[in-house]
Amino acid sequence: MAQLVREIMTSDITMVEPQTSVVEVARLMREQDIGAVVVAENGRLRGLVTDRDLVVRALADGGSVDDRTVYSACSAELVSVAPDDDVDRAVYLMGARAVRRMLVVEDGRLVGIVSLGDVAVARHADSALGDISAADPNH
């Protein structure tokens, strides 16, 4: 039987508004031990920002980050799947769109995020890849 996205997705989602500072988002990521935050405004999805986005789009340019908003660092082109989609579809879309995380949307409402790590743990739980993906972070 095919595995569904809802079986492996993360449903605990952290959201911020577009004008939130990148510094505040970085602090949230550290405090919550997460690597991605959803950017939304008035209930409308505006983007997804990852820890890598913060480094590449906000820090790498140099200068002060105090005035930079998360919207300036987020990926505005969102890729999504439905919770009842097969995990194979999610894997295909991740590869085709070159993304590591995707939003899970049901009836126009965000219900989760699925990552390559989620797929690795679900599909390769007994492998080195699954072990690495499931391991606690090394702070």
User: What is the pLDDT at residue 62?
Assistant: 83
State the total domains in the chain.
1
Type of residue at 123: R
Whether residue 139 is contained in a domain is answered as no
Structure tokens at 3: 């595995």
Type of residue at 4: L
User: What is the pLDDT at residue 134?
Assistant: 44
Site of tokens 């939304």: 40
Whether residue 72 is contained in a domain is answered as yes
| Burial 1-31, CB ≥16 within 10 A → b, else e | eeebbbebbeeebeebebebbbbebbebbee
Instruction: Report pTM.
Output: 0.83
User: Residues 91-132: pLDDT tens digits?
Assistant: 999 999 999 999 999 999 999 999 998 998 887 655 444 444
User: Residues 25-74: pLDDT tens digits?
Assistant: 999 999 999 999 999 999 899 999 999 999 999 988 888 888 899 999 99
Whether residue 16 is contained in a domain is answered as yes
**Is 131 strand, coil or helix?**
helix
Q: What CATH number does the domain containing 112 carry?
A: 3.10.580.10
Neighbouring CB atoms inside 10 A of 112's CB total 20
Average pLDDT of the residues in 2-31: 95
